[in-house]
Structure 1
């Protein structure tokens, strides 16, 4: 999903940043969309590489960290900085939370 959003960040930079439309959001720029797109590219790439090498502990923990980072980004932008509204970020929380719970609960199956 993040890799698809990377493409959207480059094809439609201003539209891709609708997530950050909270009460204290600054004006959206193409540069901000491109940076966000690159962040999604790195995160998605790490997750794909970790999925193919799921039994490698450093990659497993790095993939786990990408989910923590995504939750942290959305939580701080929504609840602390108020640059995003929960209506937009709730759909970002769901897959990240599911992925993080899965990685924690299934750790023993993958890293034996």
Structure 2
């Protein structure tokens, strides 16, 4: 563990390390969006012709979904990778007001996207695939708003 400490954000508090963690997870999500449609289809799984949810394991066959195409998955992966880069840079520069604001915006955009797909467009349904991004985005937005004065000098 001591070997990785110099590479972690050096600012006080846990928020920069959390943002680094969410960046790494987002990079992983980006890679999987390019590699397979399975996980993206678990979130956007509403198909009027096939209303049941997808199987819980990637080894099970994934039904065709007109909502998730290879292009849409790659676009989603690219968007997620850009958000991950912003969060990554912000985790190491959390005292910079511009980085802080940009990172906060990435979580807000993620929340708006997932919430609107669920509540407005109806292309996602509540469940564990959707709960993760909703919980992470809302809790991080709240955390960042509450801790802004601690990290960013006015």
TM-score by length of 1: 0.92
Asked if residue 99 in structure 1 is aligned to residue 122 in structure 2, the reply is: no
Larger radius of gyration: 2
Cα RMSD after superposing both structures: 1.4
For 1:67 and 1:106, the matched residues in 2 are separated by 15
- Where structure 1 has 5 or more consecutive residues not aligned to the other structure, the ranges are none
Where does 1:54-69 land on structure 2 (aligned, <5 Å)? Answer: 54-69=94-109
Runs of 4 or more, structure 1, over 4 Å off, are none
**Corresponding residue of 2:46:** 22
Output one character per residue of 1:56-92: Cα deviation in whole Å (capped at 9) or x when no partner.
1011000000010000000100000000111131121
The number of residues matched between the two structures is 111
**Which residue of the partner structure matches residue 39 of structure 1?**
79
The reply on whether 1:85 has 2:125 as its aligned counterpart is: yes
TM-score, normalised relative to structure 2: 0.68
Q: Which has the higher helix share?
A: 1
2:104/2:144 contact within 8 Å kept: yes
